[in-house]
Amino acid sequence: MNNKLGSFFIIILRCLSAFPFTLVQALGAFFGRTFIKRNARTVKAIDLNLKLCFPNKTDEQRLSIRNARLENMGQTAFEMSHVWTKPRAQVLDLLKPELHDNSEFEQAAKGDSGVLVLAPHLGHWEMMNYYLAQFKPLTAMYRPVKNAEKLDAFIRDARERAGSQLVPTNRKGVMQLMKALKGDGLVGILPDQVPKDGGGVYVPFYGQQAYSMTLTSQLVNKTGAKAFIGAAFRVKGGYKVIMEPVDEGFYSEDVDESVAAMNRSIEKLAEHGLEQYQWEYKRFKKQPDGQSLYPRG
């Protein structure tokens, strides 16, 4: 993204922020089913991922998930107008704590031991910054937006305003995460991205071999931190946060078993709203034989 496009994106978000949140959600859904649906590459990626991950579902069931996913993509983008621009107190009002009991996580987060939160690309992950930082400052990695300084500064400001302490996506940043977890810190990581070479192992994800990060397992095994997985699921007028303990296998010293348990935890959480998972992401682009599961072009 270049500077001009980034500046235009910021202007659009500020304009949308003038509308009520429920209207923004409705406009986002309309945009997704009307305009994102025309992006053939996005639609093909979603369809292929759903076919790979849910071979036992009917074509009609997968089509329903895909169409709902397109609406959710539009909603996520449009909702940034409130999540990234409104005062912190107003954004926190979008959370609906009465919809789910997260007392086990909240007790751990308020304690004097480090807590690692796995926050996959599910629901509206930007809202997790606000939810988590209610309990103590959240340490999270951040990769700058290339060639778009204004947008990068805009996003940084929004996340820091939410209560996040941003660290770089390099060795120095990893050491800062370690330090936070060895104390009483709260650390958040997106666990479902394809890592760089050397940063992952091949384990199942929805029955397919997926190159999956080992960093999360290393953080827990080296710090003794407690781990949870969670997401801010979209509901009308706001978000329902669901926090769950990770699969016990995640604490295994066997890295393959630990990472496989992480993926099982993501799958379990996604069952709360399959249409809110990022099926457009090419999760299986790296394979043990060196071949991508996605056709070129």
pLDDT in tens, 22-55: 999 999 999 999 999 999 999 999 999 999 999 9
DSSP 8-state secondary structure symbol assigned to residue 50? H
Position 297 pLDDT exceeds 60: no
The helix/strand/coil state of 233 is: strand
Tens digit of each residue's pLDDT (9 = 90 or more) over 228-279: 999 999 999 999 999 999 999 999 999 999 999 999 999 999 999 999 999 9
The 10s digit of each residue's pLDDT in 178-218 is 999 999 999 999 999 999 999 999 999 999 999 999 999 99
The strand pair at 226-235 and 138-142 is best described as: unpaired
pLDDT (0 to 100) of residue 168: 94
Residues 14 and 85 sit within 8 Å (Cβ to Cβ)? yes
Packed helices 3-16 and 59-83: angle between N→C axes, nearest 10 degrees: 90
Integer Cα distance of 214 and 196 in angstroms? 11
Q: 53-99 pLDDT, tens per residue?
A: 999 999 999 999 999 999 999 999 999 999 999 999 999 999 999 99
Give the pLDDT confidence score for residue 77 in this predicted structure. 96
